Structure 1
Amino acid sequence: MKIEHVLAGFVPEPRCRDGLALAVLLARQSGARLTVAYVHAPAWTTPGPGKVDAEWQAYVAEDAAHSLEQARRLLADVRDVPIDYVLTGNRGSGRGLVQLAGRSKADVVVIGPAPGGVRGRIRLGSTADQLLHASPVPVALAPRGYGEDHPPGIRRLTVAYRRDPASDEAVLRAAVIAARMGVPLRLITLVVRGGRQARMEEEMLNRLRERVMADLRAAARGHGRLEVEVEVLEGRNVAAALGATDCEGAMLVCASSETGPLRRVFLGDISSKIIRSAPCPVMMLPRNPPRKPGILGEQGKL
């Protein structure tokens, strides 16, 4: 997977800086072009064949143009990334971005958080919900405040890993992105010790740690010269486990739920918890069809 075209959804609100900042970092480090899109309300048809409320259409056009002009001003100092600005109409901003991603052949869609929420965390709203259940390309989400306090660059990709085909595929795709961006790759597995696991005997917990570490080490092999680290994170819940490691300057990569449709991002329960708990941007990858025998090993080499 290569990132050559980044599509950023824009809203004329203070939180728009968060998604734009992440989109610029991704485009800059990947050598990609950036498209900033504003999804406006569609034209309001009135009774009668082909009639459109001209006053409403003029208002929508003026408001959309004003919104894109605001985006241009916010990115006026970005000189090293080619940027286009586009308008598209749809009743749902997420659905509009999904359609635009398909038409423009974007490699990733980037958005900021929904209104409200905690600084440094990602809040999911209707736009994210539509994207995270329908996008044919990866979806990257920025936490609240990222536009004001972001690193000069993404310095590491971290893959949330568990032993299954979807995670194996996510490692391969993240490795390609990391190599293109010139950053190391880290694989993490979360061991949540709440409920039944909280009462595990230490010997059983040690066996679990050993098995998880063996899975991580196996997944880390075969990536050429790319630096790959592995780490087991433990905590009473997902937030506590993620808080046990350094996420500064990182972007977390997650595989879609295996219960979702092929070639679409599909948000499962664990991924949802990770997104809401992560103190850094998160990229959700869509599912791919199963690989043919022999292909996995070839694509694992960089």
Structure 2
Amino acid sequence: MKIEHVLAGFLPDSRGHDGLALAVLLARQAEAKLTVATIQPPPWASPGPGRADESAWRAYLKEQATAGFDQARQVAGEQADYITRFNRGSGRGLVELARTSDVDSVVIGSGPRGSKGRISLGSTADQLLHASPVPVLLTPKGYAEDLPSRVDRLTVAYRRGPGCDSAVSVAVGVAAALDVPLRLVTLVVGANRARIEQQMLGNLREQATADLERAVEGRRREVEVETLEGRNVTTALAETEWRKGELIILASSESGPLRRVFLGDTSVKIIRAAPRPVLVLTREPFGSRQTLTK
């Protein structure tokens, strides 16, 4: 993975501003190019009596895009590129744009539902998280209202397997490029706190900690390791401190298609409970090593 060209999917509302604010932050810290894109419904393509209405519809779409980009320029400035694409689905439009351009990641805001400080997976995110050829960065609702000055730590949600081992390699490179510390956490989730469950959780914790320690062997950069326990994913994630400028990194499901983003059930739960932005990586072939250049 590289961070040389960041794509922000933008709508002129609070969700769009949240994602754009994070995209600007990341692009500036990585000294990367930034493209701001708005996806609009396609104009009518068939000729006939409706041509006059089609002309008015095209003019309306152009006016909306111009007004939206005027808002975006107040955040991203004149150095960013601003483009409009047409598609019946905003997520599918961003997927197509990512396939046909040199972007390294796509950044979007939260869906319309959900509480402040959390990520809601709307239709745009759903389309991206099943088909994007590049990593997808999801932004919590209200992120732009209390924006950190910089990304200040990366946390990988780790589980044993080649997919997460690849994610650790990516995260090490990203941390070095952004000059931030790296942390690996694993979640140990149990249904209740009975004695037998406690013993099982203790065994799981020991195994998970050993897995994490093996994952960071030989790394030159110091990496924090932490195991989080809870009745569920939400309570487990609440058992640690999250920095204001933290980013969470997730590997795609190992059952998904190669070179695409694809989520499993646990990853979806982590995204919905995450108190910070989440970067979902694409699934790489077994044994491959993703690298990052600045």
Per the normalisation by structure 2, the TM-score is 0.92
Gaps of at least 5 residues in structure 1 are none
* Count of matched residue positions in the alignment of Structure 1 and Structure 2: 288
Q: Deviations over 1:251-287 (max 9, x none)?
A: 1000111111111100110010000000000000010
CA drift of 1:150 comes to 2.1
- Find the counterpart in structure 1 of residue 29 from structure 2: 29
- Find the counterpart in structure 2 of residue 193 from structure 1: 190
Of 232, 244, 252, the residue aligned with 1:256 is 252
Gaps of at least 5 residues in structure 2 are none
Higher relative contact order (CA 8 A, sep 6+): 2
CA drift of 1:185 comes to 0.8
Matching of residues 232-243 of structure 1 within 5 Å: 232-243=227-238
CA drift of 1:28 comes to 1.5
- Find the counterpart in structure 1 of residue 141 from structure 2: 144
- Find the counterpart in structure 1 of residue 275 from structure 2: 279
Identity %: 58
Change in 2 beyond 3 A, CA 1:45/1:299: closer
Secondary structure of the residue that 1:38 maps to in structure 2? strand
Matches of 1:203 and 1:111 in 2, distance apart?
41
Contact 2:190 2:197 in 1 (8 A): no
Amino acid at match of 1:265: V
Amino acid at match of 2:152: R
Amino acid at match of 2:118: R
CA drift of 1:32 comes to 0.7
Matches of 1:33 and 1:130 in 2, distance apart?
24
Matches of 1:221 and 1:28 in 2, distance apart?
31
CA drift of 1:31 comes to 1.4
Q: Deviations over 1:92-126 (max 9, x none)?
A: 10011111112221000000011131111001100
- Find the counterpart in structure 1 of residue 261 from structure 2: 265
Matches of 2:37 and 2:197 in 1, distance apart?
53
Matching of residues 78-227 of structure 1 within 5 Å: 82-194=79-191, 200-224=196-220, 226-227=221-222
CA drift of 1:216 comes to 0.5
Contact 2:2 2:291 in 1 (8 A): no
Amino acid at match of 1:8: A
Q: Deviations over 1:229-259 (max 9, x none)?
A: 1000001110110111111221100011111
Matches of 1:243 and 1:110 in 2, distance apart?
25
Per the normalisation by structure 1, the TM-score is 0.90
Matches of 2:147 and 2:188 in 1, distance apart?
28
Matches of 2:160 and 2:291 in 1, distance apart?
18
Matches of 1:100 and 1:254 in 2, distance apart?
23
Q: Deviations over 1:169-207 (max 9, x none)?
A: 111011111110000110000000116x85635443322
CA drift of 1:47 comes to 4.4
Secondary structure of the residue that 2:69 maps to in structure 1? helix
Secondary structure of the residue that 1:60 maps to in structure 2? helix
Contact 1:2 1:180 in 2 (8 A): no
Contact 1:17 1:148 in 2 (8 A): no
Contact 2:11 2:17 in 1 (8 A): no
- Find the counterpart in structure 2 of residue 230 from structure 1: 225
- Find the counterpart in structure 2 of residue 67 from structure 1: 68
Secondary structure of the residue that 1:148 maps to in structure 2? helix
